[in-house]
Structure 1
């Protein structure tokens, strides 16, 4: 282990241990687990209410508040999807360098075990240097993370802050988007606005609100999803996304690089 030479090093190690120890294994009853596996298999989404204890949430929020000071502000239209990105972000590299406590969550056995219990299969570490763990901050009226697919299969989203009910910031998704695009003979990541409108008209868009301390698991590579725009000044939404692959080897496009990486768009 590297020597601890600065007072801040001891604080970081203590905070890392504190948050890591506060995240306890989630024990599901057999019937509850079967229901969640069935829901995830059908629609690719499971809500995990109050996954974080109040003690863990307090530490999590403090770490997020500090990380937000280093986050980069983004405002652009993602190529291909032609959907907006208006938010502040911190990629995996920044999190690892400046928030050891948050970084420790990516390797936390309890969180990984939770994902594997729901999916019913092994998961694998995301090999992208930035996308494996990202923090997203929506803190202005109109902030949004527009429609997209992720390259990693699974996204576990942990909520530090959420806006009031019906004030925007909901996760919205269209289940089995890839299947829909195949049936419609469409590309899933190009000029999709009219197909999204069609899905909305036909009741195919699911919406879910969450509270601080909640989490959800999403099959993010096949279900088109977005965060709806915040409606009011002063409302806030801050989350960490832990990404996991369904296979040991996975291909990655350029969208994560554009939002979080060296080629990020400002």
Structure 2
């Protein structure tokens, strides 16, 4: 898995810098590889994503069925933070679950650790991030290469603390709950962040 992620980000990674009004104009500064390129050029990742054993394990941890994401661009995305200031800023995900595989991560004193605010609600028209921080505590988690974590991402506001040194490389695998299959879901931030061309340059605000 790690070898394939490394080779894909080297061959197909695209540098992006954006912010989104749906999450209070929080920044995204990173390099990524989209689902399309992973599916076309990867073998291990597409095979592992929906294996029955993995889905069964995630279901046991979550306490409810964990299902492949119906919206293919959110199934898996590689993200690399490589420059000082790189971050995946505060946001929620459209679907219920994310399984994150950590390939590389610096010590916590150099950033790159995860912060989250559970039991929060995403209003895309008025996210009120500061009110979320006041209402609920912010939890922080240090990560090491080889770690995996499962997060409830539709009701957990979360971010990656900005990098100051080193490198953070992960693949995010998105999954759905049964409830996700029966509710309207728009994809503004996902489409804006991941769907640019290879020539896309940093600095765009959506």
Structure 1 gaps, min length 5: 1-59, 182-186
**Alignment pair present for 1:76 and 2:18:** yes
| Root mean square deviation, CA, Å | 2.1
Q: Once the 2 structures are TM-superposed, how far is the Cα of residue 216 of structure 1 from its aligned partner?
A: 0.6
Partner SS for 2:116: strand
**Which among 128, 133, 136 is matched to residue 76 of structure 2?**
133
Q: Once the 2 structures are TM-superposed, how far is the Cα of residue 147 of structure 1 from its aligned partner?
A: 0.6
Partner SS for 2:169: strand
Would you tell me which structure has more helix in proportion to its own residues? 1
Counterpart of 1:35 in structure 2 is none
Alpha-carbon distance between aligned partners in 2 of 1:76 and 1:154, rounded to the nearest angstrom: 23
Alpha-carbon distance between aligned partners in 1 of 2:17 and 2:81, rounded to the nearest angstrom: 11
TM-score, normalised to structure 1's length? 0.68
**Alignment pair present for 1:257 and 2:200:** no
Counterpart of 1:17 in structure 2 is none
How does 1:1-266 map onto structure 2 within 5 Å?
A: 60-69=1-10, 70-81=12-23, 82-178=25-121, 187=123, 190=126, 192-196=128-132, 198=134, 204-232=137-165, 235-247=166-178, 248-250=181-183, 251-261=185-195, 266=201
| Of 104-113 and 84-93, the range deviating more from structure 2 | 104-113
**CA 1:142/1:254 → structure 2, altered by over 3 Å: closer, same or farther?**
same
Partner SS for 1:252: coil
Q: Once the 2 structures are TM-superposed, how far is the Cα of residue 85 of structure 1 from its aligned partner?
A: 0.3
Contact 2:22–2:189 under 8 Å retained in 1: no
Contact 1:147–1:226 under 8 Å retained in 2: yes
**CA 1:197/1:223 → structure 2, altered by over 3 Å: closer, same or farther?**
closer
Partner SS for 1:216: strand
Alpha-carbon distance between aligned partners in 1 of 2:125 and 2:57, rounded to the nearest angstrom: 30
Q: Once the 2 structures are TM-superposed, how far is the Cα of residue 167 of structure 1 from its aligned partner?
A: 1.5
Structure 2 gaps, min length 5: 202-206
User: 1:110-142: per-residue Cα shift (whole Å, max 9, x none)?
Assistant: 321221011122122111121111111111111
Across the two proteins, how many residue pairs are aligned to each other? 195
Partner SS for 1:142: coil
> Could you say which structure has the larger radius of gyration?
1
Alpha-carbon distance between aligned partners in 2 of 1:115 and 1:189, rounded to the nearest angstrom: 31
TM-score, normalised to structure 2's length? 0.86
Alpha-carbon distance between aligned partners in 2 of 1:221 and 1:137, rounded to the nearest angstrom: 22
